[in-house]
A = this chain, B = another copy of it.
Amino acid sequence: MEEEFLECNILHEDIVKKVKQKMPEDAFIYDLAELFKVFADSTRMKIIYALLEEELCVCDLANIVGTTQSAISHQLRLLKQSKLVKFRREGKVIFYSLDDEHISQIVMKGSEHIEEL
């Protein structure tokens, strides 16, 4: 017959306090999640794997990944915004390549986890 709305009491107050102190800032967590979002799509992951091998133009990427030029171009924009790829122009063709050594490390750690399942 209780009329309370106790969503959730703290069960272990000291532990909660301790963990809260060690938590990173919200903005940091947000940025980190944003970074992992880039890896969280199979089209982008294919692009990344392709670029791990070779500097590639948009058109070749579309062929390798198996989708349209437009889709690749949209995804490259996200990768650019996250500073994961860089590019250079050569006439009409634009070549993309990976911009950061962490990328392969992140991908490798992820694939280790997958392979051990």
A86 on the B face (CB < 8 A): no
**A22 CA to B19 CA in the complex, in Å?**
44
Tell me how many residues of A have a C-beta within 8 Å of chain B. 62
Tell which of B35, B68, B102 touches A8, judged by Cβ atoms closer than 8 Å.
Answer: B68
Question: When the two chains form their complex, are residues B19 and A68 in contact, meaning their CB atoms are under 8 A apart?
Answer: no
Chain B residue numbers with a CB within 8 Å of A30 are 42
- A-side binding surface: helix, strand, loop or mixed? helix
Tell which of B19, B42, B114 touches A50, judged by Cβ atoms closer than 8 Å.
Answer: B19
**A64 CA to B114 CA in the complex, in Å?**
29
Those of A20-48 within 8 Å (CB) of chain B: 20, 22-24, 26, 28-37, 39-42, 44-46
Question: When the two chains form their complex, are residues A109 and B111 in contact, meaning their CB atoms are under 8 A apart?
Answer: no
Say yes or no: A106-B100 contact (C-beta < 8 A), given A29-B45, A46-B29: no
Question: When the two chains form their complex, are residues A60 and B100 in contact, meaning their CB atoms are under 8 A apart?
Answer: no
Excluding A23-B64, A29-B49, 19 further A-B contacts by CB distance (< 8 Å) are A8-B58, A10-B59, A12-B57, A16-B60, A16-B63, A19-B53, A23-B50, A24-B49, A29-B42, A33-B42, A33-B45, A35-B110, A36-B37, A39-B40, A40-B40, A100-B113, A102-B110, A102-B116, A103-B113
